[in-house]
Amino acid sequence: MKTWQDCVAFHGHECGGLTIGYKASLYAINLLELDFSEDEQVVCIAENDACGIDAIQVMLGCSVGKGNLLFHMRGKQAYSFYNRKTGKSVRLVLKPKPEGMTKAESFAYYQSCKPEEMFDVKETTICVPEKARLFVSYTCDCCGETAGANWIRLVGDKKLCLDCYDNYDRFNI
């Protein structure tokens, strides 16, 4: 199992945000009987893109490239974890910390907390996403760059990437 020091080495420094992701990972491991995800067995949907994400990558093997780390940006310190093997899931939401703390005091506070003291455990509100798909790639007839089929638009007999495609919307002129 990975350690706090592994998270710090990956992230580059110790901080409260990294601690939040580390403790969320430990709690999810305990609640959902998780192991490091070699493929897409473990999924995390994060509601922020802050420092804690690095700890989740290290501890659980969730990554954007692997397709098992997704972002549902809400600006919340909240993480939904899914165990595809068991079908279990949990949403961990950071509880408010005492007000008026300095950055150093916040770090010390989070370091001293047990995971169950830091997070409210809630039901997930988003269904577990399907596994990542592989798409055929096409060359854009305008710019010559290659894009996956899901991001190509047909205009007449031309294939256009989203950057070259002129979106038609009669309401947003």
Beta-carbon count within 10 A of 88 CB: 15
Long-range pairs, 3-7, Cβ under 8 A, ≥24: 6/58, 6/59, 7/54, 7/55, 7/58, 7/59
DSSP string of 110-165? HHHS-HHHHEEEE--SSPPPPPPP---EEE-TTT--EEEGGGEEEETTEEEETTT-
Quote the longest CA-to-CA distance of the chain. Answer: 62
Asked whether residue 168 carries a pLDDT value surpassing 90, the answer given is no
- pLDDT confidence band for 169 (50 / 70 / 90): confident
Instruction: Give the integer Cα–Cα distance in Å for 17 and 11.
Output: 10
Binning pLDDT at 50, 70 and 90, where does residue 84 land? very high
The more confident residue out of 145 and 129 is 145
* Structural domains of the chain, with CATH: 4-122 (3.30.1330.130), 133-173 (no CATH)
Tens digits of residue pLDDT in 49-67: 999 999 999 999 999 999 9
**What confidence score (pLDDT) does residue 173 get?**
62
Rounded mean pLDDT, 31-55? 97
The stretch 93-116 carries a mean pLDDT of: 97
pLDDT of residue 172: 72
